[in-house]
């Protein structure tokens, strides 16, 4: 091989080019399907529930009839074209925050966060957000979009002078300084809830774990009287309910007159 060819080959194989990281604010995939919007309720007579099985770790932006951004409040099941709609369980970042991580939750069977995953979010200079969404582990899950109207009824002040735009309680001003987004009250001291805080649109609610109920203050949990207190005094099984509890016995035994102790059936 001629010497100059050898030198050329060595030069080419020894050179590497570092990949350039693209800004997700300009390198994203649009999600614009109308059924993805929070106002779209599932109607299985018009087709089966949908699933985001094509979403797989890329950067996405909600546009068109899908909405402006992900909702940051619990979405009822059978919305967004599917059984288990996915919403953002956390507030949107500011532009100066860069890329942040947030929890995304799927609502189903009365549980606002039956399934969850971690997504990345970034506020862009144009007043919009982009999301790095993970692929749902099961169907039927769909990432929801929501319309946040500019200078709507939640934004008081002059639309031409964005510095005067203020938002109503339960909402915060977005990066464009004109759009009011839902505020996640649960991020501040768990909303004052002693146990579980569920963020809702412009509001929130407190919930309690199994066997516990809210007190009249709507924030503090306490044990339901009965089974969770020394098994309700039952010698065997204790079945609780919202109204009280009752003792039950296994097959072959019956409750005695005290309604708590199981004994053999006398003939």
Hey, what domains does the chain have and what are their CATH numbers?
A: 29-143 (no CATH), 155-222 (2.10.25.10), 226-264 (2.10.25.10)
- pLDDT confidence of residue 243: 60
pLDDT higher at 16 or 127: 127
pLDDT(23) > 60: yes
pLDDT higher at 172 or 4: 172
- pLDDT confidence of residue 167: 78
- pLDDT confidence of residue 38: 94
Distance CA 63, CA 45 (A): 27
> For residue 58, which of 144, 117, 126, 131 has the smallest C-alpha distance?
131
Contact 70, 62 (CB under 8 A): yes
| pLDDT band, very low/low/confident/very high, at 22 (cuts 50, 70, 90) | confident
pLDDT(104) > 80: yes
pLDDT higher at 149 or 49: 49
Query: Tokens 């982009």 — which residue?
Result: 130
Mapping DSSP to helix (H, G, I), strand (E, B) and coil, where does residue 198 land?
strand
Give the chain's mean pLDDT.
82
- At 37, give phi and psi (nearest 5°): -75, 150
Indicate the Cα dihedral angle 31, 116, 201, 221, nearest 10°: 180
Q: Which tens digits make up the pLDDT trace of 165-218?
A: 777 777 777 776 667 778 888 888 999 999 999 888 778 899 888 667 788 899
CA contacts within 13 A on the Cβ side of 139: 10
CA contacts within 13 A on the Cβ side of 164: 6
Mapping DSSP to helix (H, G, I), strand (E, B) and coil, where does residue 134 land?
coil
Report DSSP state, residue 40.
P
Beta strand pairing call for 84-89 and 141-143: parallel
First to last CA, the chain: 108
Mean pLDDT within 218-233: 78
Which pTM does this prediction carry? 0.59
- pLDDT confidence of residue 190: 92
pLDDT higher at 233 or 134: 134
Distance CA 225, CA 245 (A): 8
Mean pLDDT within 58-76: 93
Contact 92, 101 (CB under 8 A): no
pLDDT(233) > 50: yes
- pLDDT confidence of residue 156: 52
> For residue 266, which of 175, 106, 256 has the smallest C-alpha distance?
256
CA contacts within 13 A on the Cβ side of 18: 3
């Amino acid at each position: 091989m001629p010497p100059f060819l050898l030198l050329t080959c060595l030069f080419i194989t020894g050179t590497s080019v570092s990949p350039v990281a693209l800004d997700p604010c300009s390198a994203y995939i649009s999600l614009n399907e109308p059924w993805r919007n929070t106002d779209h309720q599932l109607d299985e007579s018009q087709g089966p529930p949908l699933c985001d099985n094509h979403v797989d770790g890329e950067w996405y932006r909600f546009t068109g009839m899908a909405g402006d951004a992900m909702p940051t409040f619990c979405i009822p099941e059978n919305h967004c074209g599917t059984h288990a709609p996915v919403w953002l369980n956390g507030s949107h970042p500011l532009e100066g925050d860069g890329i942040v991580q947030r929890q995304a939750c799927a609502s189903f069977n009365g549980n606002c966060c039956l399934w969850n995953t971690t997504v990345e979010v970034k506020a862009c200079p144009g007043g919009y957000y982009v999301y790095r969404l993970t692929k749902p582990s099961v169907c039927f899950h769909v990432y929801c979009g929501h319309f946040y109207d500019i200078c709507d009824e939640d934004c008081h002040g002059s639309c031409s002078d964005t510095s005067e735009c203020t938002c109503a309680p339960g909402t915060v001003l977005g990066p464009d300084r004109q759009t009011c987004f839902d505020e996640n009250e649960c991020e501040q001291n768990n909303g004052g809830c002693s146990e579980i805080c569920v963020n809702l649109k412009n509001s929130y609610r407190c919930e309690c774990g199994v066997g516990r109920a809210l007190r009249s203050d709507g924030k503090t949990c306490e044990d339901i009287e009965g089974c969770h207190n020394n098994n309700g005094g039952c010698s065997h099984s204790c079945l609780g309910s919202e109204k009280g509890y009752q003792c039950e016995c296994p097959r072959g035994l019956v409750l005695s007159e005290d309604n708590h102790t199981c004994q053999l059936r006398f003939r």
